[in-house]
Amino acid sequence: MHGEYKVPGGKLVVVDVDVVDGVLSGTSVSGDFFLEPDEALDVVRSALDGQPADAPTSRLAAAVDDALATAHADGRLSQPPVMVGFDARAVAVAVRRALGLSTAWADHTFEVLHPGPLPPAVHTALDQVLTEELAAGRRGPTLRFWEWVEPAVIIGSFQSLRNEVDLEAVERYGITVVRRVSGGGAMFMEAGNCITFSLVVPASLVDGMSFEESYAFLNQWVLGALADVGVRAELSGLNDISSPAGKIAGSAQKRVVGGAVLHHVTMSYDIDATKMLEVLRIGREKLSDKGTRSANKRVDPVRSQTHLAREAVIAAFRAHFEAHYATREGELRPDELARAQELARTKFADPAWTARVP
Protein backbone atom coordinates (compact mmCIF):
# COMPACT_ATOMS: atom_id res chain seq x y z
CA MET A 1 0.00 0.00 0.00
CA HIS A 2 1.26 3.42 -0.98
CA GLY A 3 0.63 6.78 0.68
CA GLU A 4 1.93 10.31 0.20
CA TYR A 5 1.71 13.42 2.35
CA LYS A 6 2.96 16.88 1.37
CA VAL A 7 3.68 18.88 4.50
CA PRO A 8 2.16 22.39 4.14
CA GLY A 9 5.14 24.63 3.48
CA GLY A 10 7.41 21.60 3.78
CA LYS A 11 8.43 18.43 2.00
CA LEU A 12 6.86 15.27 0.57
CA VAL A 13 6.77 12.11 2.68
CA VAL A 14 6.09 8.78 0.91
CA VAL A 15 5.28 5.50 2.67
CA ASP A 16 4.96 2.01 1.22
CA VAL A 17 3.76 -0.62 3.67
CA ASP A 18 2.15 -4.05 3.98
CA VAL A 19 -0.18 -5.31 6.68
CA VAL A 20 0.42 -8.81 8.03
CA ASP A 21 -1.79 -10.24 10.78
CA GLY A 22 -3.12 -6.79 11.58
CA VAL A 23 0.24 -5.04 12.01
CA LEU A 24 2.48 -2.94 9.75
CA SER A 25 5.22 -4.84 7.96
CA GLY A 26 8.03 -4.04 5.53
CA THR A 27 7.53 -0.29 5.94
CA SER A 28 9.48 1.95 3.57
CA VAL A 29 9.77 5.72 4.11
CA SER A 30 11.11 8.07 1.44
CA GLY A 31 10.71 11.62 0.17
CA ASP A 32 12.44 14.90 -0.62
CA PHE A 33 12.85 15.83 3.04
CA PHE A 34 16.13 16.27 4.94
CA LEU A 35 17.16 13.92 7.73
CA GLU A 36 20.35 13.69 9.75
CA PRO A 37 22.13 11.40 10.39
CA ASP A 38 21.52 9.04 7.47
CA GLU A 39 20.99 6.01 9.70
CA ALA A 40 17.97 7.73 11.30
CA LEU A 41 15.88 6.64 8.31
CA ASP A 42 16.28 2.99 9.29
CA VAL A 43 15.19 3.86 12.82
CA VAL A 44 12.02 5.50 11.46
CA ARG A 45 11.22 2.48 9.32
CA SER A 46 11.76 -0.04 12.09
CA ALA A 47 9.69 2.05 14.53
CA LEU A 48 6.65 1.61 12.30
CA ASP A 49 6.97 -2.13 11.72
CA GLY A 50 4.83 -4.02 14.20
CA GLN A 51 2.48 -1.11 14.93
CA PRO A 52 -1.25 -1.96 14.75
CA ALA A 53 -2.71 -1.23 11.33
CA ASP A 54 -5.47 0.80 12.96
CA ALA A 55 -3.14 2.82 15.19
CA PRO A 56 -4.08 6.50 15.32
CA THR A 57 -1.78 9.20 14.02
CA SER A 58 -0.73 10.16 17.54
CA ARG A 59 0.47 6.62 18.35
CA LEU A 60 2.43 6.25 15.12
CA ALA A 61 4.07 9.66 15.55
CA ALA A 62 4.96 8.87 19.16
CA ALA A 63 6.52 5.55 18.08
CA VAL A 64 8.78 7.36 15.60
CA ASP A 65 9.77 10.09 18.07
CA ASP A 66 10.45 7.58 20.85
CA ALA A 67 12.51 5.34 18.58
CA LEU A 68 14.69 8.25 17.41
CA ALA A 69 15.24 9.46 20.98
CA THR A 70 16.13 5.97 22.16
CA ALA A 71 18.48 5.36 19.23
CA HIS A 72 20.39 8.52 20.06
CA ALA A 73 20.49 7.74 23.77
CA ASP A 74 21.93 4.25 23.26
CA GLY A 75 24.49 5.38 20.68
CA ARG A 76 22.95 3.90 17.55
CA LEU A 77 22.73 7.43 16.11
CA SER A 78 25.96 9.40 15.92
CA GLN A 79 24.21 12.69 16.62
CA PRO A 80 20.79 13.94 17.72
CA PRO A 81 18.30 13.35 14.91
CA VAL A 82 17.29 16.40 12.84
CA MET A 83 14.16 16.32 10.66
CA VAL A 84 13.84 19.21 8.21
CA GLY A 85 10.72 19.77 6.11
CA PHE A 86 8.80 17.02 7.90
CA ASP A 87 8.28 15.46 11.31
CA ALA A 88 7.06 12.25 12.92
CA ARG A 89 3.44 13.30 12.51
CA ALA A 90 3.94 13.75 8.75
CA VAL A 91 5.26 10.18 8.57
CA ALA A 92 2.24 8.97 10.53
CA VAL A 93 -0.18 10.76 8.19
CA ALA A 94 1.52 9.19 5.16
CA VAL A 95 1.13 5.76 6.79
CA ARG A 96 -2.56 6.41 7.45
CA ARG A 97 -3.02 7.51 3.84
CA ALA A 98 -1.35 4.35 2.60
CA LEU A 99 -3.85 2.36 4.67
CA GLY A 100 -6.80 4.37 3.36
CA LEU A 101 -7.56 5.79 6.81
CA SER A 102 -6.45 9.33 6.01
CA THR A 103 -7.39 11.08 2.77
CA ALA A 104 -6.35 14.13 0.77
CA TRP A 105 -8.41 16.72 -1.10
CA ALA A 106 -7.64 14.90 -4.35
CA ASP A 107 -9.32 11.74 -3.04
CA HIS A 108 -12.75 13.40 -3.05
CA THR A 109 -15.19 15.02 -5.45
CA PHE A 110 -17.15 17.88 -3.91
CA GLU A 111 -20.72 18.69 -4.85
CA VAL A 112 -21.21 22.47 -5.00
CA LEU A 113 -24.65 23.58 -3.80
CA HIS A 114 -26.17 27.05 -4.13
CA PRO A 115 -29.87 26.50 -3.49
CA GLY A 116 -30.94 30.13 -3.23
CA PRO A 117 -32.67 32.06 -0.45
CA LEU A 118 -33.94 29.99 2.48
CA PRO A 119 -35.15 30.78 6.02
CA PRO A 120 -32.35 30.89 8.62
CA ALA A 121 -33.67 27.84 10.49
CA VAL A 122 -33.61 25.80 7.26
CA HIS A 123 -30.00 26.79 6.63
CA THR A 124 -28.90 25.62 10.09
CA ALA A 125 -30.96 22.46 9.66
CA LEU A 126 -29.27 21.76 6.31
CA ASP A 127 -25.90 21.88 8.04
CA GLN A 128 -27.05 19.05 10.28
CA VAL A 129 -28.75 17.08 7.50
CA LEU A 130 -25.87 17.21 5.01
CA THR A 131 -23.31 16.32 7.69
CA GLU A 132 -25.37 13.33 8.84
CA GLU A 133 -25.96 12.25 5.24
CA LEU A 134 -22.21 12.13 4.60
CA ALA A 135 -21.60 10.24 7.85
CA ALA A 136 -24.25 7.70 6.81
CA GLY A 137 -22.64 7.23 3.38
CA ARG A 138 -25.64 8.57 1.47
CA ARG A 139 -23.85 11.62 0.10
CA GLY A 140 -20.32 12.80 -0.64
CA PRO A 141 -18.64 15.99 0.56
CA THR A 142 -20.28 19.32 -0.23
CA LEU A 143 -19.61 23.04 -0.44
CA ARG A 144 -22.85 24.98 0.09
CA PHE A 145 -23.37 28.74 -0.24
CA TRP A 146 -26.11 30.37 1.84
CA GLU A 147 -28.65 32.98 0.71
CA TRP A 148 -31.20 34.73 2.95
CA VAL A 149 -34.92 35.52 2.95
CA GLU A 150 -34.92 37.36 6.28
CA PRO A 151 -32.39 38.99 8.62
CA ALA A 152 -31.01 36.72 11.32
CA VAL A 153 -28.69 36.31 14.24
CA ILE A 154 -27.15 32.84 14.29
CA ILE A 155 -25.71 32.01 17.71
CA GLY A 156 -23.23 29.28 18.59
CA SER A 157 -24.39 26.03 20.11
CA PHE A 158 -23.07 26.89 23.57
CA GLN A 159 -23.71 30.63 23.75
CA SER A 160 -26.07 32.20 26.26
CA LEU A 161 -29.05 33.68 24.42
CA ARG A 162 -29.56 36.62 26.80
CA ASN A 163 -25.84 37.36 27.07
CA GLU A 164 -25.28 37.46 23.31
CA VAL A 165 -28.51 38.91 21.92
CA ASP A 166 -30.55 42.00 22.75
CA LEU A 167 -34.00 40.46 22.43
CA GLU A 168 -35.78 43.81 22.38
CA ALA A 169 -33.61 44.99 19.48
CA VAL A 170 -34.13 41.85 17.41
CA GLU A 171 -37.89 42.17 17.90
CA ARG A 172 -37.78 45.83 16.93
CA TYR A 173 -35.92 45.07 13.71
CA GLY A 174 -37.81 41.86 12.91
CA ILE A 175 -34.69 39.70 13.16
CA THR A 176 -34.88 35.92 13.59
CA VAL A 177 -32.60 34.31 16.18
CA VAL A 178 -31.47 30.74 15.48
CA ARG A 179 -29.05 28.50 17.38
CA ARG A 180 -26.77 26.37 15.21
CA VAL A 181 -25.21 22.96 15.99
CA SER A 182 -21.60 24.18 15.91
CA GLY A 183 -19.84 26.21 18.56
CA GLY A 184 -18.28 29.62 18.12
CA GLY A 185 -19.72 33.13 18.24
CA ALA A 186 -22.84 34.93 17.08
CA MET A 187 -23.26 36.02 13.47
CA PHE A 188 -25.44 38.93 12.32
CA MET A 189 -26.80 38.41 8.82
CA GLU A 190 -28.96 40.30 6.36
CA ALA A 191 -29.50 39.62 2.68
CA GLY A 192 -26.56 41.16 0.88
CA ASN A 193 -24.41 41.93 3.93
CA CYS A 194 -22.51 38.67 4.41
CA ILE A 195 -21.04 35.68 2.58
CA THR A 196 -21.60 32.34 4.26
CA PHE A 197 -20.68 28.84 3.11
CA SER A 198 -20.61 25.40 4.69
CA LEU A 199 -18.06 22.71 3.89
CA VAL A 200 -18.99 19.14 4.84
CA VAL A 201 -16.06 16.72 4.60
CA PRO A 202 -15.22 13.20 5.76
CA ALA A 203 -13.27 13.04 9.00
CA SER A 204 -10.52 11.23 7.10
CA LEU A 205 -9.62 14.54 5.43
CA VAL A 206 -8.56 15.98 8.80
CA ASP A 207 -7.33 12.68 10.21
CA GLY A 208 -4.79 13.15 12.98
CA MET A 209 -5.27 16.92 13.13
CA SER A 210 -6.13 18.81 16.28
CA PHE A 211 -9.15 21.11 16.10
CA GLU A 212 -6.80 24.06 15.71
CA GLU A 213 -4.93 22.37 12.86
CA SER A 214 -8.16 21.38 11.11
CA TYR A 215 -9.44 24.98 11.21
CA ALA A 216 -6.26 26.17 9.54
CA PHE A 217 -6.34 23.31 7.04
CA LEU A 218 -9.96 23.82 5.97
CA ASN A 219 -9.62 27.62 5.83
CA GLN A 220 -6.47 27.59 3.70
CA TRP A 221 -8.34 27.66 0.37
CA VAL A 222 -10.34 30.67 1.59
CA LEU A 223 -7.12 32.68 1.86
CA GLY A 224 -6.40 31.83 -1.78
CA ALA A 225 -9.91 32.84 -2.84
CA LEU A 226 -9.58 36.15 -1.00
CA ALA A 227 -6.25 36.75 -2.74
CA ASP A 228 -8.03 36.25 -6.07
CA VAL A 229 -10.30 39.21 -5.27
CA GLY A 230 -7.45 41.38 -4.04
CA VAL A 231 -7.61 40.81 -0.29
CA ARG A 232 -4.41 39.88 1.54
CA ALA A 233 -5.60 37.75 4.45
CA GLU A 234 -4.23 35.40 7.06
CA LEU A 235 -5.48 33.06 9.75
CA SER A 236 -5.79 34.64 13.19
CA GLY A 237 -6.63 33.08 16.51
CA LEU A 238 -8.27 29.68 16.48
CA ASN A 239 -10.95 30.25 13.86
CA ASP A 240 -10.77 33.80 12.44
CA ILE A 241 -9.56 35.20 9.12
CA SER A 242 -8.16 38.72 9.13
CA SER A 243 -6.61 41.27 6.81
CA PRO A 244 -4.36 44.21 7.70
CA ALA A 245 -7.57 46.27 7.92
CA GLY A 246 -9.19 43.98 10.50
CA LYS A 247 -11.21 40.81 10.94
CA ILE A 248 -12.96 39.53 7.82
CA ALA A 249 -14.48 36.21 8.82
CA GLY A 250 -15.02 33.62 11.50
CA SER A 251 -15.44 29.88 11.17
CA ALA A 252 -16.94 27.09 13.27
CA GLN A 253 -16.96 23.29 13.25
CA LYS A 254 -19.03 20.32 14.34
CA ARG A 255 -17.97 16.68 14.14
CA VAL A 256 -20.59 13.94 14.14
CA VAL A 257 -20.51 10.25 14.95
CA GLY A 258 -19.83 8.27 11.80
CA GLY A 259 -16.95 10.38 10.55
CA ALA A 260 -18.14 13.70 9.12
CA VAL A 261 -17.01 17.26 9.81
CA LEU A 262 -19.08 20.41 9.32
CA HIS A 263 -16.96 23.52 8.79
CA HIS A 264 -18.66 26.80 7.98
CA VAL A 265 -17.39 30.32 7.39
CA THR A 266 -19.17 33.66 7.60
CA MET A 267 -17.55 36.82 6.34
CA SER A 268 -18.98 40.31 6.33
CA TYR A 269 -19.53 41.86 2.92
CA ASP A 270 -21.30 45.14 3.71
CA ILE A 271 -22.37 44.86 7.33
CA ASP A 272 -24.59 47.44 9.07
CA ALA A 273 -22.31 47.89 12.08
CA THR A 274 -24.72 50.17 13.91
CA LYS A 275 -27.54 47.66 13.74
CA MET A 276 -25.19 44.81 14.59
CA LEU A 277 -24.11 46.60 17.76
CA GLU A 278 -27.73 47.08 18.75
CA VAL A 279 -28.70 43.42 18.38
CA LEU A 280 -25.49 41.76 19.56
CA ARG A 281 -24.17 42.26 23.06
CA ILE A 282 -20.45 42.49 22.33
CA GLY A 283 -18.76 42.93 25.69
CA ARG A 284 -15.63 44.92 26.49
CA GLU A 285 -13.80 41.75 27.50
CA LYS A 286 -14.29 40.18 24.06
CA LEU A 287 -13.22 43.35 22.29
CA SER A 288 -10.15 43.82 24.44
CA ASP A 289 -9.17 40.16 23.94
CA LYS A 290 -9.03 40.87 20.20
CA GLY A 291 -7.00 44.05 20.72
CA THR A 292 -9.82 46.28 19.48
CA ARG A 293 -10.95 49.56 20.98
CA SER A 294 -14.16 49.99 19.01
CA ALA A 295 -16.73 47.34 18.17
CA ASN A 296 -17.40 49.20 14.91
CA LYS A 297 -13.90 48.16 13.80
CA ARG A 298 -14.17 44.49 14.72
CA VAL A 299 -15.42 43.30 11.37
CA ASP A 300 -14.00 44.75 8.18
CA PRO A 301 -16.34 44.43 5.18
CA VAL A 302 -15.13 42.54 2.14
CA ARG A 303 -16.84 45.10 -0.09
CA SER A 304 -14.53 47.93 0.99
CA GLN A 305 -11.45 45.90 0.09
CA THR A 306 -12.60 44.26 -3.15
CA HIS A 307 -14.92 46.91 -4.65
CA LEU A 308 -16.80 43.98 -6.19
CA ALA A 309 -20.47 43.04 -6.07
CA ARG A 310 -21.26 40.34 -3.53
CA GLU A 311 -22.28 37.98 -6.35
CA ALA A 312 -18.91 38.50 -8.03
CA VAL A 313 -17.06 37.68 -4.81
CA ILE A 314 -19.07 34.46 -4.38
CA ALA A 315 -18.42 33.55 -8.02
CA ALA A 316 -14.69 34.10 -7.50
CA PHE A 317 -14.72 31.91 -4.39
CA ARG A 318 -16.52 29.17 -6.24
CA ALA A 319 -14.16 29.43 -9.21
CA HIS A 320 -11.13 29.19 -6.90
CA PHE A 321 -12.48 26.09 -5.18
CA GLU A 322 -13.39 24.42 -8.47
CA ALA A 323 -9.95 25.20 -9.91
CA HIS A 324 -8.17 23.47 -7.03
CA TYR A 325 -10.43 20.50 -6.22
CA ALA A 326 -12.57 18.01 -8.09
CA THR A 327 -16.16 19.29 -8.10
CA ARG A 328 -19.50 18.84 -9.76
CA GLU A 329 -22.64 20.93 -9.87
CA GLY A 330 -25.09 19.68 -7.27
CA GLU A 331 -28.50 20.28 -5.82
CA LEU A 332 -30.37 19.35 -2.68
CA ARG A 333 -32.35 16.14 -2.92
CA PRO A 334 -36.07 16.50 -2.19
CA ASP A 335 -35.76 14.22 0.85
CA GLU A 336 -32.87 16.30 2.24
CA LEU A 337 -34.79 19.54 1.87
CA ALA A 338 -37.91 17.96 3.37
CA ARG A 339 -35.95 16.70 6.37
CA ALA A 340 -34.31 20.09 6.83
CA GLN A 341 -37.69 21.82 6.76
CA GLU A 342 -39.00 19.36 9.35
CA LEU A 343 -35.94 19.91 11.54
CA ALA A 344 -36.38 23.66 11.16
CA ARG A 345 -39.93 23.34 12.46
CA THR A 346 -39.27 20.89 15.28
CA LYS A 347 -35.81 22.00 16.40
CA PHE A 348 -34.15 25.08 14.97
CA ALA A 349 -37.23 27.34 15.07
CA ASP A 350 -38.30 25.93 18.44
CA PRO A 351 -37.84 28.51 21.26
CA ALA A 352 -36.76 25.67 23.54
CA TRP A 353 -33.74 24.95 21.30
CA THR A 354 -32.94 28.63 20.79
CA ALA A 355 -32.97 29.18 24.57
CA ARG A 356 -31.19 25.90 25.30
CA VAL A 357 -28.57 28.00 27.02
CA PRO A 358 -30.75 30.86 28.36
Nearest C-alpha neighbor of 218 from the set 279, 168, 261: 261
Percent of the residues in the chain that have a pLDDT greater than 70, as a whole number: 95
Does residue 299 carry a pLDDT above 80?
Answer: no
Burial classification of residue 133, based on how many CB atoms lie within 10 Å of its CB (0-12 exposed, 13-18 middle, 19 or more buried)? buried
298, pLDDT greater than 50: no
Computed over every residue of the chain, the mean pLDDT equals: 93
> Is the model's pLDDT at 292 over the cut of 70?
no
* Mean pLDDT on 136-141: 96
Q: Quick one: average pLDDT of 50-76? A: 96
pLDDT digits (tens, 9 = 90+) for 165-177: 999 999 999 999 9
* Residue 195 pLDDT > 60: yes
Measure the CA–CA gap between 255 and 213, rounded to whole angstroms: 14
Asked whether the predicted pLDDT for residue 253 surpasses 80, the reply is yes
Question: pLDDT tier at 131 (50, 70, 90 boundaries)?
Answer: very high
Q: How far is CA 302 from CA 91, 243, 269, 273, 308, in A?
A: 39, 10, 5, 13, 9
Q: Which helix (H) or strand (E) holds 14?
A: strand 12-20
